[in-house]
Amino acid sequence: MMLDLPVWAFAPLSPIPLLAALFWSAPLMALVSELISAAGGKPFPARAARQLSRLGLWAHGAVWMLVAAAGLVFYPVLEQSEFVRAHRLFLILTALIPFLSTIVLLIYDLTWKKARDRRGLHIFLGCLGNLGLKYGYWSLVVAALVFFRDIPLTSPAFLPPIRSAWWPLVSLWPVMSLSVAAGMGLFYLMLRRNKDDWGRDYYRFAVPFLGKWQIFSGLGAIGVMLWLFFSLRGVVNLFLPLIFHASVGAAACLGISMLLSLCLCMSAHPMRLKGCMLAICVFLFLHCGLMLAAVIEALNRYAPGWDVPTFMPWLLRLIY
């Protein structure tokens, strides 16, 4: 897979994992927040759910526009792929069901004013929309297994062994995306402060609420990264400079964003720390870019025929 990309071409790639995290996790966070509100009878989690729902909807719109553009560009290549022709129906469902989920989540977002009177139905819509999104992700996981391992779905050996690095690899995205979505949710609160003016008490609740989401899911992501490291140790050389520095840099950026979220949680007036929220957004942007670079560099080293340049050689020359 030979590509000749300039270093600056990776600048627009970092927002793609950010959008994907919001696409996948913001609706789930909205649903869980609404459930917390329904269980405790408190209004603030429901208001946070409403804002997360709208943020996720914006991400859904952006993601589907990118998917449509990519489909138009790569359609001739995909039509010639034997893998696509052999699994056409499965791949269509992998895209169609999340798209239908977006429509359900659109209805979920537009019916917040009626949610108080029909809470059960509203929660059902949230569950339905999120189930479709989860199907989309795990269908992609299955498609990747079929593509890379070439083992039939009906074979007992289709699933990798329990000690395989595949399991931490596919488990990393769900927890990492929650942390990224929560951090971007903090930034969204800052942007919407004047338009969604629900009072100081609400923001004193919402900022630590999202900060805790970001911290605990970030801890989960770092735990899965360590699981992945120990699974791959002895199988591949993770200390190659391009892979190692990108991975450590990604983990460090995530860790710094978590420390900044902790500062927000401990502050009596968190909305005054707008610079902290902006910094969280920046470090999560860097985290996504470095994680993407680490994955691409690992594929460059260990996937036959894969050769996609990243910014890591330039960055290492700049540092050293």
Q: What is the 3-state secondary structure (H, E, C) of 116-153?
A: CCCHHHHHHHHHHHHHHHHHHHHHHHHHHHHHHHCCCC
Residue ending a domain, choose from 159, 194, 209: 159
Tally Cβ neighbours within 10 Å of residue 266. Answer: 10
pLDDT at 300: 81
Q: Are residues 167 and 133 in the same domain?
A: no
> How many domains, the chain?
2
User: Mean of the pLDDT values across residues 10-18?
Assistant: 71
Give yes or no for residue 61 having a pLDDT over 90: yes
Q: Are residues 290 and 272 in the same domain?
A: yes
Q: Are residues 149 and 72 in the same domain?
A: yes
What is the overall mean pLDDT for the chain? 85
Give yes or no for residue 4 having a pLDDT over 70: no
Tally Cβ neighbours within 10 Å of residue 61. Answer: 14
**Does the CA dihedral 246-2-300-84 come out positive or negative?**
positive
Give yes or no for residue 261 having a pLDDT over 90: yes
- Whether residue 181 is contained in a domain is answered as yes
User: Mean of the pLDDT values across residues 102-118?
Assistant: 88
User: Mean of the pLDDT values across residues 133-148?
Assistant: 75
User: Mean of the pLDDT values across residues 153-176?
Assistant: 80
CA distance 43 to 30: 13
Q: Are residues 121 and 188 in the same domain?
A: no
Give yes or no for residue 11 having a pLDDT over 60: no
Domain that holds residue 118: 12-159
Q: Are residues 93 and 140 in the same domain?
A: yes
- Residue 199, SS3 per DSSP: coil
185-210 residue pLDDT tens: 999 988 887 787 777 888 899 999 99
- Whether residue 5 is contained in a domain is answered as no
Give yes or no for residue 304 having a pLDDT over 60: yes
Q: Are residues 169 and 112 in the same domain?
A: no
pLDDT at 161: 77
- Whether residue 7 is contained in a domain is answered as no
- Whether residue 1 is contained in a domain is answered as no
User: Mean of the pLDDT values across residues 41-63?
Assistant: 91
User: Mean of the pLDDT values across residues 93-102?
Assistant: 86
Backbone φ and ψ of 236, nearest 5°: -130, 160
Query: How much of the chain exceeds pLDDT 70, in percent?
Result: 91
pLDDT at 159: 76
Q: Are residues 78 and 191 in the same domain?
A: no
pLDDT at 3: 45
CA distance 56 to 317: 38
| Confidence at 154, pLDDT banded by 50, 70, 90 | low
Residues facing residue 233 across a β-bridge: 236
Q: Are residues 170 and 122 in the same domain?
A: no
pLDDT at 2: 44
Query: How much of the chain exceeds pLDDT 90, in percent?
Result: 35
Backbone φ and ψ of 117, nearest 5°: -85, -25
Q: Are residues 170 and 303 in the same domain?
A: yes
- Whether residue 35 is contained in a domain is answered as yes
- Whether residue 2 is contained in a domain is answered as no
Residue ending a domain, choose from 159, 184, 219: 159
- Whether residue 66 is contained in a domain is answered as yes
Query: Looking at the whole model, is its pTM more than 0.85?
Result: yes
Q: Are residues 153 and 260 in the same domain?
A: no
pLDDT at 293: 87
209-227 residue pLDDT tens: 999 999 999 999 999 999 9
Q: Are residues 155 and 169 in the same domain?
A: no
- Whether residue 6 is contained in a domain is answered as no
Q: Are residues 315 and 169 in the same domain?
A: yes
